[in-house]
Amino acid sequence: MAASMDKEYVLITGATSGIGYALAEVFASHGYGLILVSSVMSHLLAAQCKLKAEYAVPILIYEQDLAVNDAAFKLYASLKADDVRFNILINNAGLGLIGKSETLDADRELQMLTLNIISLTMLCKLFIAEHQQSGGRILNVASIGAFQPGPYTASYYASKAYVLSYTQAIRYEAKNSGIHISVLCPGSTHTAFFTKAGKPTPKFAGSPERAAKAAYHGLMKDQEIIIPGTMNQLIRWLPKRLKMAAVAKMKI
């Protein structure tokens, strides 16, 4: 497979729908080869087929559930076995759970935390270690909720706060290495998040395409924190108590 790696590639987790798929479209439109990662092969094949019909770029697919232990290492092992190289990592895969903390299914919550925190961290760790000489870019997807506590989404919001803090820290550490690291903090977006959680999508939700375009341009400009939409940028600075009350009202 090494012979096909003659252009820049971007690896995108959670790439078959929502912001992940929109990011795949944006990068393909700029000529990047794609490495799509998802936990469901049928979704990967469908996304690959759809993207190939629109863009003349190579598209590789990898089935890997990142919500299980050692998932990041298993994915990297598969990539190494195929001699696949990439210089942009996008940690987009994520899961959210809605409900009172004590009522959430413990196994499902552990899967969420593994996906949102552990796998993201390990993928960053592996990427940075490998690209100390060659440089590269990382985009971690957090949420506008990273700036506040989230009643009835307590561990989800906390996981995104981790992503924000962790990304800012490793960005500082990597500042002289040629590795550029950004974090995307979108607001409510028309994705499968609310459907999976059994809640209606907010009327003010933005489009994944808008978030993806903002993410691409922000990443290429080495912007530290990327917040799509003027309203979301303003929400960031509202008092936490006000935002907490609004979040709680949306979730119950």
Nearest Cα residue to 202 out of 245, 144, 244, 250: 250
Reported as a single tens digit per residue, the pLDDT across 204-248 is 567 899 999 999 999 999 999 999 977 766 776 666 676 566 666
Nearest Cα residue to 209 out of 181, 190, 194, 225: 190
pTM of the entire predicted model: 0.90
Query: What are the beta bridge partners of residue 35?
Result: 11, 60
Edge to edge, the sheet with strand 9-13 lists 59-63, 33-38, 9-13, 88-91, 136-141, 179-184, 225-226
Residue range(s) defining the domain that contains residue 68? 2-251
Reported as a single tens digit per residue, the pLDDT across 46-86 is 999 999 999 999 999 999 999 999 999 999 999 999 999 99
Residue 136 belongs to domain with CATH number: 3.40.50.720
Number of domains the chain is built from: 1
